[in-house]
Amino acid sequence: MNAWRNVWTITKRELGAYFTSPLAYVFIVIFLLLCGFFTFFVGGFFERQEASLVRPFFDWHPWFYLFLVPAVGMRLWAEERRVGTIELLLTMPITAWQAIVGKFLASWLFLALALVLTFPVVITVNRLGDPDNGVILTAYVGSWLMAGAYLAISCITSALTRSQVVSFIISLVVCLFLILAGFPPVINVLEQVAPRLVDLVASFSVMTHFEGFQKGVLDSRDVLFFLSVIGFSLFTTSVILRTHRAG
Amino acid sequence: MIKVQNLAKVFGAKRAVDDVSFSVNRGEVLGFLGPNGAGKSTTMRMITGFLPPSGGSVSVGGFDIVEHPIEARRLIGYLPENAPAYTDMTVHGFLNFAAEIRGLRGDARKQAVSRVVDLCFLESVLHQSVETLSKGYRHRTCFAQSIIHDPDVLVLDEPTDGLDPNQKHEVRQLIRRMGEKKAIIFSTHILEEVDAVCSRAIIIDRGKIVANGTPQELRQKSEWAGAVTLRIKGVASSAVTAKLYQVPLVKRVTVVDDKDGRVTVRAFPKGEANGKLAQAVGEAVHEWQIEQLQAEEGRLDEVFRSITMPDTAKEAA
């Protein structure tokens, strides 16, 4: 009970920090603009003549997140280290885990808010046709889980450095790898070069695991994949924070 | 309340803190002195559990900081060096957060916040963002955070750094008042603070404790302790010196100043003069016009230098 109270106190503070800086508003506006533009213009929502959000809307999410999630996560620990508040935070009567989870949750909830704000797209598709809303909901859940995986990786890179820019770039590269490992052109090349590695490499990709959600299939293996990326990354973050202090 | 035993910290090849032991009881204010980089902050970071020790142990209120970190940290209020605070929050928001994470809720939280706001004179900036505060206010905000849960143990790393003289005075008063009921350890390199606030002082140099005692005891170590300063009008300095050397208790005489017909000399005693030197000197020169005759108490800055400087001199050679 007490542990979750501490986590929630941290989460509240972090959420507050997002909304007192312009970052939150800039992020949400850019995210919504990108979603709208890609869905209706690049994704050809109207030309497709089908009541589905999978291709025109959700297909772009891994790519949006590539740039936007590291921007959300970059300040989590880098800023604490730069300003020195990490010394306050980690000498409070809370465990490092509570601080890590609290911070992660705050950013993840923030991303959830951004996702929820894309609701006009759902309304539009419902007005124009008769989509399978179950599929849309599952895809939303998958998209949020995927954002969580990116975010947890950003936590690691943020804990590694006191520079937000360095954190942003490193996590972008790592996340790019997670996308490309399952990106069809890369898979095709890999099939010719090392056909036996294809499945292994692709199983590391967020693309492979997001695919199922987009079809409306809530596969426990896919859920487990994202959750284990999150768990592993947060654990790595705790190790980095500890070794950093050990000097 | 605080017990430090054989504490050590190694960064790579450097021993930042080397076999440091001391304890602080309730009602004591311990001043932690030393040149920059002597290991003061590192020691404090280990006491508060921010840095894990490479060796030795710290216990706070009976709780080992490594074995029972949460229980120990609950008892500690900590003001880190440079007084960091979340710049994106208002002073009010920051103090509320500090109170909440210390487990204070509802009315208890409101009371705690308003208490420290009064104590640290933060009323006028309460709804200002920390980012826009002057250094003095930011410092006091972080200080307020450290006492918000009325802790038994206070660890303050340079609490008066960057404050103006009035603010320094206020903070010292506050520390001294709180020191009556708490165990306080604070670091400084302002020696007058030791006299103003501490009941005991430790001098640390290159990771090791080199002196430990009350400010009075430390002052005794000064070669000035027991010396007598004398100012005489209308007599040549050579005559004064010659006269003083005839006093049996005098070991050495130095001329401090000689101008406008006034001579200032300082006489150092042989062995233990026990305060009789001033009288002896006074009697020896009684037929001259004495403008000043003063028994010196010994000076902390002089002790500080004599303890911490010889080593650096050796290192340079």
A85, A90, A94 member nearest B86 (Cβ) = A85
Its ipTM equals 0.87
| Lowest model confidence (mean pLDDT) among A39-43, A115-119, A169-173, B220-224 | B220-224
In a domain, B303, yes or no: no
Query: Is the Cβ–Cβ distance between B126 and B82 less than 8 Å?
Result: no
CA distance B49 to B56: 13
Q: What is the pLDDT of residues B144-200, one digit of tens each?
A: 999 999 999 999 998 888 788 888 888 888 898 888 999 999 998 787 788 888 889
Name the percent of chain A lying above pLDDT 90: 53
Clarify whether residues B88 and B181 are in a common domain: yes
Please, which residues have CB within 8 angstroms of residue B58's CB and are 6 or more apart in sequence? B2, B3, B4, B5, B7, B46, B47, B49, B64, B65, B66
Most A CBs within 10 A among B101, B141, B142, hence the mutation to make, goes to B101
Do B82 and B31 share a domain, yes or no?
yes
Q: Beta partners for B29?
A: B184
pLDDT band of residue B274 (cuts 50, 70, 90) is low
Contact pairs from chain A to chain B, CB under 8 Å = 75
Cβ neighbours of residue B149 closer than 8 Å, sequence gap 6 or more: B74, B77, B99, B102, B103, B104, B112
- Residue to substitute from A87, A98, A238, interface B, most B β-carbons within 10 A: A87
**A235: pLDDT confidence band, cut at 50, 70 and 90?**
very high
Q: What total of structural domains would you count in chain B?
A: 2
Per-residue model confidence (pLDDT) at position A155: 95
- For residue B85, list chain A residues with Cβ-Cβ distance below 8 A: 83, 85, 88
Other beta carbons less than 10 A from residue B103's beta carbon: 16
Encoded amino acid at B309, one letter:
M
- Is B307 a domain residue? no
Domain boundaries, position B118: 2-220
**pLDDT for A165:** 92
Claim to verify: residue B24 and residue B92 sit in the same structural domain = yes
Q: Do both B56 and B36 map to the same domain? A: yes
Structure tokens, A183: 């990106």
| CA–CA distance, B298 with B224 (Å, rounded to integer) | 5
- Compute and round to an integer the Cα radius of gyration of chain A: 19
Average pLDDT over residues A40-52: 78
Of B10, B51, B142, the CB nearest to A245: B51
Give the distance from residue B316's alpha carbon to the nearest chain A alpha carbon, in angstroms. 27
Distance, in Å, from the CA atom of B49 to the CA atom of A97, rounded to the nearest integer, reads 15
Report chain B's mean pLDDT, rounded to a whole number: 86
pLDDT of residue B286: 80
Return the number of other C-beta atoms located less than 10 Å from residue B109's C-beta.
18
pLDDT mean across residues, chain A: 89
Per-residue pLDDT band at B317 (split at 50, 70, 90): very low
How far, in Å, are A29, A66, A82, B92, B316 from residue A23 at the CA level? 10, 17, 18, 22, 51
Is residue B309 domain-resident? no
> In angstroms, rounded to a whole number, what is the distance separating the alpha carbons of residues A100 and A98?
5
For A128-137, B130-139, B257-266, which range has the lowest pLDDT when averaged over its residues? B257-266
pLDDT tier at B259, thresholds 50, 70, 90? confident
Q: Which two tokens stand for residue A164?
A: 């937000």
Over 80: is that where the pLDDT of B306 sits?
Answer: no
Q: How many angstroms separate the CA atoms of B278 and A241, rounded?
A: 61
Q: What is the mean pLDDT of residues B33-42?
A: 87
Which candidate in A6, A20, A75, A91 is best for mutational testing of the B interface (most B CBs within 10 A)?
A91
The Cα of B193 is separated from the nearest Cα of chain A by a number of Å equal to: 25
- Mean pLDDT for B214-227 is 77
**Together in a domain, B187 and B264:** no
pLDDT above 50 for A24: yes
Contacts of B10 (CB under 8 A, 6+ apart): A247, B16, B54, B55
Mutate to test the interface with B, among A7, A18, A82, A92 (most CBs of B within 10 A): A92
B69 and B203 belong to one structural domain = yes
In a domain, B311, yes or no: no
Regarding whether B203 and B64 lie in a shared domain, the answer is yes
Residue B26 CB burial class (10 angstroms; 0-12, 13-18, ≥19): middle
Per DSSP, the residues of chain B read -EEEEEEEEEETTEEEEEEEEEEE-TT-EEEEE--TTSSHHHHHHHHTTSS--SEEEEEETTEETTTSHHHHHHHEEEE-TT----TTSBHHHHHHHHHHHTT--HHHHHHHHHHHHHHTT-GGGTTSBGGGS-HHHHHHHHHHHHTTT--SEEEEESTTTT--HHHHHHHHHHHHHHHTTSEEEEEES-HHHHHHH-SEEEEEETTEEEEEE-HHHHHHTSTTTT-EEEEEESS-HHHHHHHHHTSTTEEEEEEEEEETTEEEEEEEESS--TT-HHHHHHHHTTTSEEEEEEE----HHHHHHHHHHHHHHHHH-
Check pLDDT > 80 for residue B128: yes
Could A20 and B85 be called an inter-chain contact, meaning their C-beta atoms sit closer than 8 Å? no
CB distance B80–A83 less than 8 Å?
A: no
CATH code assigned at B259: 3.30.70.2860
Q: Is the pLDDT of residue A171 over 90?
A: yes
Strands B228-233 and B262-269: antiparallel
Whether the Cβ atoms of residue A111 and residue A24 lie closer than 8 Å to each other: no
| DSSP code string of A142-156 | HHHHHHHHHHHHHHH
Q: Do B52 and A246 touch (CB under 8 A)?
A: yes
Question: For residue B156, is it within any domain?
Answer: yes
- For A75-84, A208-217, B213-222, which range has the lowest pLDDT when averaged over its residues? B213-222
CB contact under 8 A, B86 and A17: yes
Residues B18/B8, Cβ–Cβ less than 8 Å: yes
Same domain, B13 and B76: yes
pLDDT given for residue A29 in this prediction: 93
* B18 and B118 co-located in one domain: yes
Shared-domain flag, residues B115 and B132: yes
Tell me the nearest-neighbour CA distance from B70 into chain A, angstroms: 5
For residue B188, with 0-12 CB atoms within 10 Å meaning exposed, 13-18 middle and 19 or more buried, which class applies?
Answer: buried
| pLDDT tens-place string over residues B61-117 | 999 999 999 999 999 999 998 899 999 999 999 999 999 999 999 999 999 999 999
CA distance A108 to chain B (A): 20
Coil, strand or helix at A43: coil
Whether residues B59 and B146 share a domain: the answer is: yes
Name the band, by pLDDT with cuts 50, 70 and 90, for residue B237: confident
Tell me the domain boundaries of chain A: 2-246
**Could you give the C-alpha distances from B254 to A233, B233, B248, B266, B282, in angstroms and in order?**
70, 17, 16, 5, 17
Would you state the pLDDT for residue B238? 83
Final residue before a domain boundary, out of B159, B189, B220 = B220
Residue B185 sits at φ, ψ, to 5 deg, of -130, 125
Q: Is position B317 within any domain?
A: no
Q: What is the pLDDT of residue A1?
A: 63
* Residues B130 and B186 grouped into a single domain: yes
Torsions phi, psi of A182, nearest 5? -125, 10
- The amino acid sitting at B146 is S
Q: Is residue B314 over pLDDT 70?
A: no
Does the pLDDT value for residue A150 go beyond 60? yes
* Confidence bin at B275 (pLDDT 50/70/90): low
**Does B70 contact A245 at a Cβ distance shorter than 8 Å?**
no
Which of B220, B252, B276 terminates a domain? The answer is B220
- Average pLDDT (A62-89) is 92
Q: How many CA atoms lie within 13 A of B110 on its CB side?
A: 2
